[in-house]
Amino acid sequence: MTVFWGALLAAGILLTLSPWLWPRRTARAAREPGALDRLMDDAGFAHVPVKVPVTAAALAAVVAGAVAWLVIPVPIIAVLAATAGGAAPFLWLRGRRLRLRRQRRALWPDVCDLLIASVRAGMSLPDAVASLQTSGPPALRPAFAAFARDVAASGHFDSSAVRLKTALSDPIADRIIETLRMARQVGGTELVPVLRALAASVRADAALRSEVEARQSWIRGAAVLGVVAPWVILALLAMRPEGARAYSSPEGIALIIAGAAVSFVAYRIMIRLGRLPEPRRWFG
């Protein structure tokens, strides 16, 4: 009977979320990109449908809530576990976006140097950018390979550059690509000095950020430890029958909700204090 009611509850939740999980194709095509679309692009999943992380969040919420209820039979803890499980895929995407930006930040000066060498060797801009599929950093080669196929099929550098910018989803890449687009459209002899200055600026910014992030890494560790420790103790207390009864009372529920709110606010403040402002995608 427990399995039957659990399956019935899961089916009801799935049917409730179905309008957002499986929207009509015409509606999806007509709407403007939202925050989740931009998050997927920045995390390197530009071609993955938005319904995939939403479905993963729903499944994670159901699984986390069910596991919490089986281990600790306290309703409010199961609800909080389901909330945390539903937020986990989006937190993972945000973390992946930050990791990709940190990894790529040190690669863009090399890309600028390769572009400078190709331009000074007499290559055209489309050929210079396409050559990065073999000579560029390995982490960026798939995007430049897609650009080479795109520009070979369409023969239009501007539209291919825009799609490359979407695939890379990086503020520094936006600046480089917009510089190349402007040089392609209006011409001029200042492309090499501009790329050289941009490479020097990116190198200096990457070195400074790496030093500051290394010095402030303890803030993130303290924030995680400060949030996790009280909830581990709460879980151990609630696993006892008398503890479960106490936390299932109205006073216990109010205490847990207040503790969750305080933990969330304190964690966000600690992370905010230890986080450097990320450059915005002005040309994204």
At 188-217, the pLDDT tens digits run: 667 788 888 888 888 887 788 777 777 777
Q: What confidence tens digit (pLDDT) does each residue in 44-92 have?
A: 787 788 888 889 999 999 999 999 898 888 888 989 999 999 999 998 9
pLDDT of residue 119: 85
pLDDT-derived band of residue 7, with 50, 70 and 90 as boundaries? low
Backbone torsion region of residue 16, taken as left when φ is above 0, otherwise alpha when ψ lies between -120 and 50, otherwise beta: alpha
Contact 143, 168 (CB under 8 A): yes
pLDDT of residue 100: 80
State the distance between the two ends of the chain, measured CA to CA, in whole angstroms: 53
Residue type, 102: R
- Whole-number Å distance between alpha carbons of 130 and 141: 9
Q: What confidence tens digit (pLDDT) does each residue in 128-187 have?
A: 889 998 888 888 888 899 999 998 888 888 888 888 888 887 888 888 888 888 887 776
Radius of gyration of the chain (CA): 25
Contact 138, 249 (CB under 8 A): no
Highest mean pLDDT among 111-115, 167-171, 215-219, 276-280: 111-115
30 pLDDT higher than 50: no
Contact 279, 171 (CB under 8 A): yes
For the beta carbon of residue 170, count every other beta carbon within 10 angstroms: 24
Encoded tokens for 186: 């209006």
Q: What is the mean pLDDT of the chain?
A: 81
For the beta carbon of residue 135, count every other beta carbon within 10 angstroms: 13
Half-sphere exposure of 272 (CA within 13 A, CB side): 6
Q: Quick one: which of 133, 141, 166 has its CA closest to 43?
A: 166
Contact 112, 199 (CB under 8 A): yes
Averaged over 246-261, what is the pLDDT? 90
Burial of 127 (0-12, 13-18, 19+ CB in 10 A): middle
pLDDT of residue 257: 92
